Amino acid sequence: RSCRKGGVEVEMNPQKSEAVARYVSSERCCPAFVVESPPGSGKTTTAAAMAASYQGASLQLFLSTANVPVDNMVAALASLDRSKQMRIVHLVAASRDVSLDKDKRSPFSCMITPEGDFIDRHHFALQQLQGGLEAETDRKAKRKIKNKMVRTRAKILKEPIQYDAIFGTVD
């Protein structure tokens, strides 16, 4: 198995290739798939290849207990050519999204469509809330704004869109 990055085939070692092949064929036999290995062994690249290679009708859910692995999976997937044809959502906490520099924010943030444009129906509300959050200094007021952002993003997920993959961090 291999993926394309910038129009060029990216070859994977036999172990990664086997993991991707098992994942792609796992829909028929198991509802979950876990990738676990030591740091630096290629989990991020493998997970991105799994997401890009999957052709099934079911939703893919990629979760981690830490933000960094999810951010890295999303960045790796965004670099693959196939991601441009996928409907992907990256669930990012409003407080974290706001604290990141614009160039560090996820290309698949809940506020952004796979094409990179804001979702029209909720664009203005999210833009206003984002501006209010950045300008607000009172902690209670910030919490209220963040809660409104969460509710607005939840509406986006309820849109009648068939997502291919959702990425998120869980506690």
pLDDT at 119 over 70: no
Percent of the chain whose pLDDT exceeds 70: 71
pLDDT at 144 over 90: yes
Coil, strand or helix at 107 = coil
Q: For 76-101, what is each residue's pLDDT tens digit?
A: 888 887 777 888 888 776 566 666 67
Q: How far is 124 from 107, CA to CA, in rounded Å?
A: 19
Q: How far is 122 from 80, CA to CA, in rounded Å?
A: 28
pLDDT at 156 over 70: no
What is the full DSSP assignment across 119-130? PHHHHHHHHHHH
Q: What residue type is 85 in one-letter code?
A: Q
Confirm whether pTM is higher than 0.85.
Answer: no
Which positions ≥6 away from 62 have C-beta within 8 Å?
47, 51, 70, 73, 165, 166, 167, 168
Q: For 9-64, what is each residue's pLDDT tens digit?
A: 777 888 888 888 888 876 666 667 788 888 888 888 888 888 888 877 778 888 88
More confident position, 115 or 131: 131
Q: How far is CA 12 from CA 9, 36, 52, 95, in A?
A: 10, 17, 14, 36
CB atoms within 10 A of CB 171: 3
Q: What residue type is 48 in one-letter code?
A: A
Output the pLDDT for position 124. Answer: 65
